[in-house]
Amino acid sequence: MFGLPQSTEVNRRVAKEKLYSNANIPAQLREVIKDNVEAVFWRNKLADGTFNVSAGDSVTELHVFEIQLRQRGLDKRVLSVIAKAIPYKILFSLTFEGECQLWIEAEGTFYNTQWHPQGSFTIKFEGLNLDAVYENIARQIADGRLGEHGDISAAVESDKRRQKLEREIAVLEKKLSREKQFNRQVELNGELRRIRNELGEI
């Protein structure tokens, strides 16, 4: 998968029942998995002995999981629960009817690609160690939202702040479009300007 070396291949099916027991999945999410997930495969293991990159300080192994779906999309909480249950970093590949979407967690926040035809998306597994490889994959999947360099934690925090400000702008723009009173329009415009300036500084 992703053109990774044969030495990294595992290609082992993971029983959904095993996920339930290992991941302590709530009953509601078990139903989501039953209804939406066709099969789960452990595709690759990147580690000191399988991949020509040394372990990092925080990432000692990186695993690739393929989740074959019965419909296009999956509740993000399922990925979060699986990620917490496994003591290693995971790159998730969701597949449905010839399409694929990639998900990865960085500093407690999940990032994902758009849906695209399987095999059309190239991920570069590059870095001096697995910490760097993992961060580079996260930046690729985040598609520019985490920048290309610098501290990944700071990049995630900046992205969260950016998203919060963008939501605030959307709410204010909606209010402004409905507001009839001139004085209130002036207030809303002032607030919009302030938040847009703050956003521009990130």
pLDDT at residue 28, rounded to an integer? 84
3-state secondary structure labels for all residues of 71-130 = CCCCCHHHHHHHHHHCCCEEEEEEEECCEEEEEEEECCEEEECCCEECCCCCCCCCCCEH
Which domain range does residue 186 map to? 154-200
Condensed to tens digits (0 to 9), the pLDDT of residues 46-101 reads 998 899 899 999 999 999 999 999 999 898 888 888 888 788 999 999 999 999 99
In a domain, 48, yes or no: yes
105-134 mean pLDDT:
91
Residue finishing a domain among 133, 148, 163: 148
Overall number of domains in the chain: 2
Residue finishing a domain among 148, 169, 187: 148
pLDDT at residue 96, rounded to an integer? 96
pLDDT at residue 83, rounded to an integer? 85
**Statement to judge: residues 28 and 114 lie in one domain:** yes
Under the banding of pLDDT at 50, 70 and 90, the label for residue 4 is very high
**Statement to judge: residues 113 and 39 lie in one domain:** yes
Condensed to tens digits (0 to 9), the pLDDT of residues 136-173 reads 999 999 988 898 888 888 899 988 898 899 999 999 99
**Statement to judge: residues 140 and 123 lie in one domain:** yes
**Statement to judge: residues 76 and 121 lie in one domain:** yes
**Statement to judge: residues 122 and 36 lie in one domain:** yes
Which 3 state secondary structure label does DSSP give 159? helix
Under the banding of pLDDT at 50, 70 and 90, the label for residue 42 is very high
124-144 mean pLDDT:
93
13-23 mean pLDDT:
79
In a domain, 28, yes or no: yes
Q: For the chain, what is the largest distance between any 2 Cα atoms, rounded to a whole number of angstroms?
A: 68
**Statement to judge: residues 104 and 159 lie in one domain:** no
Q: Answer whether 129's CB lies under 8 Å from 117's CB.
A: no
Task: Check pLDDT > 90 for residue 135.
Answer: yes
**Statement to judge: residues 62 and 30 lie in one domain:** yes
Q: Which residues contact 154 (CB under 8 A, 6 or more apart)?
A: none
pLDDT at residue 149, rounded to an integer? 82
The closest of 121, 29, 118 to 76, measured between CA atoms, is 29
Mean pLDDT (the chain) is: 90
Residue finishing a domain among 124, 148, 172: 148
Q: Residue 121 burial by CB count (10 A; 0-12/13-18/19+): exposed, middle or buried? A: middle
Tokens of 16: 């959904």
pLDDT at residue 110, rounded to an integer? 93
Provide the percentage of residues in the chain whose pLDDT is more than 70.
99
In a domain, 37, yes or no: yes
In a domain, 1, yes or no: no
pLDDT at residue 120, rounded to an integer? 83
Orientation of helix 152-178 relative to helix 182-200, angle to 10°: 160
pLDDT at residue 175, rounded to an integer? 92
Highest mean pLDDT among 24-33, 44-53, 116-125: 44-53
Under the banding of pLDDT at 50, 70 and 90, the label for residue 34 is confident
**Statement to judge: residues 137 and 177 lie in one domain:** no
In a domain, 64, yes or no: yes
Phi, psi of 68 (to 5 degrees): -85, 125
**Statement to judge: residues 134 and 194 lie in one domain:** no
